[in-house]
Amino acid sequence: MLIRKIAFITAVLVVAATLGAADIYVCAARGSNGNPGTMTEPLKNIDKALGTAKAGDIIRVAGGNYFGLRGKGYLQAMHPVEIYGGYADDFKTRDILKYRTKIQPDNPSAAKSRKPLLTFMKSVKGQRIVVDGIIFDMGARNSYSDSEGKPEGCDTGMLLLPPRFNRQRNDKPTVVEQCLRFPATAAAGDVLIQNCTFLNGAKFGIQAAHKDGTFRVLNNVFVANRMAAMEIYGTGGKKGPRGPTEKGGHVEIARNTILFSWSRLKDMKDMGYGIRVMTKLSYHIHHNIIGLNVLTGVDHTRFNKNEWLKLDDNIFFMNKQAPLLYTERGQGMLERVALQDFADLEFASIKGNTGTIPKGFPFHNAYLDGFLNVRYQETADYNPDSAVNQLREMVGLNKQGKLNTRVSMFMNRYPLEHALKLFGACKKAGAGTPSQTL
């Protein structure tokens, strides 16, 4: 009885919060953090709006670049709110491609922060989070080599990782974090990520914990993210010795364009997925364009039940190893599944998937050419008769050599202008024209 009363009170509070939701307006061009946050007197920073917002409030953001008060390089939402970007400065019209709301910090701000661009810190069952029409771009925040791994026609050389990932040190190493993150404290409730761009993410476009609701990723563009475009894992349900036995939420991933997901390291051997199907959640993955990922388009190796996955009407092309990486539940053997073998998989649904590249698709041709011809090399520099090694031998130390590695390309920056051309590039699948979904 006590549990029922608590549940009823929680439901009442959630409904009351929704009914009392306020609209908060933000405009970088004409706002001030001393304003009340109205349409006529908007705030200047999203940070300020997040600091004053209550659960259920709606934050409407005009075009501009926002990356934290005093340029700290990240944003944090302490409560579940709805954030909509792409408004004109007067908030009378909305067009996310014309009035671009960007979270695009620069490299000096990265030196102050090892945090994701935007983190939702807290949510409870029954609450709603929306992120709609925001451009997340780490391309100005990451560090890139001036010359190594730079194909002709690309904006930058290869991504430079911190010393623990990459022996090549750099005064301003890349901060290895996500574009958008939902930690376990924000796992509950319903989430909608829509009409956004996730670009040059040094560690996932989206990484999220989830339970007790739906997590929907609809009509977004993901390009040049490291490890995976998205990884959404369950924190509810139950896990047995051979994988999850009960699920605790549902994920829908639909009408997204997902390209050029890079590996964790420049040797191209670990990760590099479009979508990771994680544990204790059901998934419906449909009408996406998933191509040109370093490993596979979809990773289904976490022992989730096959009956929890629907994989329908997607376009897979040129994923370097296969469209799908798969592990048979209870067996543990990795299989790279070709498109023609999808019919053998006993998923809840797996139909309508094709490998046809959309005609006239707006690739950045130099980036595409470099990716298709990526080469990784290792050379050992070891001379047992060198003066150094002779001295080491004399004093009882082991002789040493040096391993040199080179790569022709690794997570180079993808230009924002080219990424935005992907909206509406294909009618059958992938991200549609945003105006059709606003």
The region of weakest confidence among 7-21, 226-240, 361-375, 407-421 is: 7-21
> Confidence band (pLDDT; 50, 70, 90) for 70?
confident
Beta carbons within 10 angstroms of residue 307's beta carbon: 12
> Confidence band (pLDDT; 50, 70, 90) for 13?
very low
Do residues 315 and 355 lie in contact, with contact meaning Cβ atoms separated by under 8 Å? yes
Give per-residue pLDDT as tens, 309-362.
999 999 999 999 999 999 876 567 789 999 999 999 999 999 999 999 888 999
Expressed in angstroms, the distance from the first to the final Cα of the chain is 43
Give per-residue pLDDT as tens, 79-116.
999 999 999 999 999 999 999 999 999 887 766 667 89
- What are the φ/ψ torsions at residue 239 (nearest 5 degrees)? -120, 130
Give per-residue pLDDT as tens, 157-206.
999 887 544 444 444 556 668 999 999 888 889 999 999 999 999 899 99
* Contact partners, residue 344, CB within 8 Å, separation at least 6: none
Q: In this predicted structure, what is the pLDDT of residue 112?
A: 63
Question: 219-233: b or e for each residue (b if 16 or more CB lie within 10 Å)?
Answer: bbbbbbbbbbbbbbb
The region of weakest confidence among 70-74, 85-89, 278-282 is: 70-74
Do residues 172 and 140 lie in contact, with contact meaning Cβ atoms separated by under 8 Å? no
> 371 burial class (0-12, 13-18, 19+ CB within 10 angstroms)?
buried
Residue with tokens 């409560």: 79
The whole-model pTM stands at: 0.89
Residue 17: pLDDT above 50? no
Q: In this predicted structure, what is the pLDDT of residue 168?
A: 44
* Segment 241-265 mean pLDDT: 92
